[in-house]
Amino acid sequence: MKHLFTGFIAAAALATGVQAQQNIVVGHALSPASHYGVGAQAFIDTLNELSDGAFTGEQAPAGQLGGERDMIEGLQIGSLDLVVTSTGPLGNFVPEVFALDLPFLFRDYDHARTVLDGEIGQELLDKIGENNLVGLAWSENGFRHVTNSQRPVRTPEDLAGLKLRTMENRVHMTAFSGMGASPTPMAFPELFTAMQQGVVDGQENPVTVITAAKFWEVQDYVSLTGHVYSPAVVLASPILFDSLSDEEKGWFMEAAKASAAATRAEVNRLEEAGVALLIENGMEVITDIDKAPFAALAEASYSVYTDQYGTEMVDRIKAVE
Ligand code: EAX
């Protein structure tokens, strides 16, 4: 409806010789100051500049338009234009993307970014494109760590019985069952209150998100488990994207790349500065973690992906230098 209306205005503007403006709404889960907010703004500013002002934009931050699964659905039905989202719920729409959510797969940020910026990343963006979504660029959330309100977690035994919120992602849920926790899937906008009220004891997210959402207000311990890399992706509504000219599509893709670059720069900054911020705000940060036992127990989760697609993609990702 919104696009029909915009089209009507565009036609009217053409008739009067006035350049029409189209306003793009960019949804995401976090605050405007977060790494997603910085990326959303970079998208808006770049698109505005490339289009000479023909496109304007605004953020719908902090899950205003729902959780990440809701926002992805919004793209498919055309009620939302653009989303910066983690891959958390994306595998429910594009199961091939589960390959990126496998625990202890990426060695470090360089490895993950090289994979996503290379041929594997492009193949997966294409897969997204086959599922009533448009994948514009891989952005970033970061390596995820476990926080909780009960005790310092150093070993898988310490996870036993902890009610841990995970994203709505079967790979992650299976991994945490394997590691001994009790995973509870939940949309991000419900998480803070769930921790506050003790519905869950803990959660897992990158330093970027823990700081942006001020989880220190409801969590005491953070263990730098780095158990999984969490990609983000800039997605567009196919209904919007299909209505664009080739030149406009090019602007959107360039703006998405600028968005991803701005977000990654912010992830870099917070990887440097974020842990100090957690300590400053009263969290106990556990750094001396032996990852091997966690990885061994989490490995059962690989079958969520490999039972359907085999091990080829996993091997290819591991082989990227
Ligand atoms: O995408 O749901 C989550 O835990 C995500 O990491 C967060 O919303 C940012």
Q: Where do runs of H (alpha helix) occur along the chain?
A: 2-16, 35-50, 68-77, 109-117, 119-129, 156-159, 170-178, 191-196, 207-212, 238-241, 246-280, 291-298, 302-309, 312-319
> Residue with the nearest Cα to atom 6 of ligand 1?
205
Tokens 């023909």, residue located = 54
Distance 274 CA to ligand 1 centre (A): 17
Q: Measured in angstroms, how far is the CA atom of residue 28 from the centroid of ligand 1? A: 9
pLDDT tens across the length of the chain (321 residues): 445 545 554 554 454 445 689 999 999 999 999 999 999 999 999 999 999 999 999 999 999 999 999 999 999 999 999 999 999 999 999 999 999 999 999 999 999 999 999 999 999 999 999 999 999 999 999 999 999 999 999 999 999 999 999 999 999 999 999 999 999 999 999 999 999 999 999 999 999 999 999 999 999 999 999 999 999 999 999 999 999 999 999 999 999 999 999 999 999 999 999 999 999 999 999 999 999 999 999 999 999 999 999 999 999 999 999
From 161, 125, 140, 150, select the one nearest 208 (Cα to Cα): 140
Q: How far is the CA of 86 from the centre of ligand 1 (A)?
A: 6
Candidate of 26, 35, 65, 86 to mutate for ligand 1, largest count of ligand atoms within 8 Å of Cβ = 86
pLDDT at 270: 97
Tokens of 178: 């394997």
What burial letters (b/e) apply to 226-256, b meaning 16+ CB within 10 Å?
bbbbbbbbbbbbbbbbeeeeeebbebbbbbb
Strands 182-185 and 202-205: unpaired
Pocket test for ligand 1, best of 205, 229, 233, 234 (most atoms within 8 A of CB): 205
What separation in Å is there between the alpha carbon of 263 and the centre of ligand 1? 14
Q: Which atom of ligand 1 is nearest to the CA of 204?
A: 4
Which ligand 1 atom minimizes the distance to the CA of 165? 4
**Per-residue model confidence (pLDDT) at position 3:** 53
Check: CB of residue 140 under 8 Å from CB of residue 121.
no
Indicate yes or no: pTM above 0.80: yes
| ipTM of the predicted assembly exceeds 0.90 | yes
The best mutation among 145, 209, 219 to test binding of ligand 1, ranked by most ligand atoms within 8 Å of the C-beta, falls on: 209
**Which residues' Cβ are closer than 6 Å to ligand 1?**
29-30, 68, 86, 88, 141, 167, 188, 205, 209, 230
C-beta separation of 14 from 20 below 8 A:
yes
| Ligand 1 pocket test target in 141, 147, 229 with most atoms within 8 Å of CB | 141
Rounded to whole angstroms, how far apart are CA atoms 147 and 42?
30
User: Ligand 1 centre from 185 Cα, in Å?
Assistant: 12
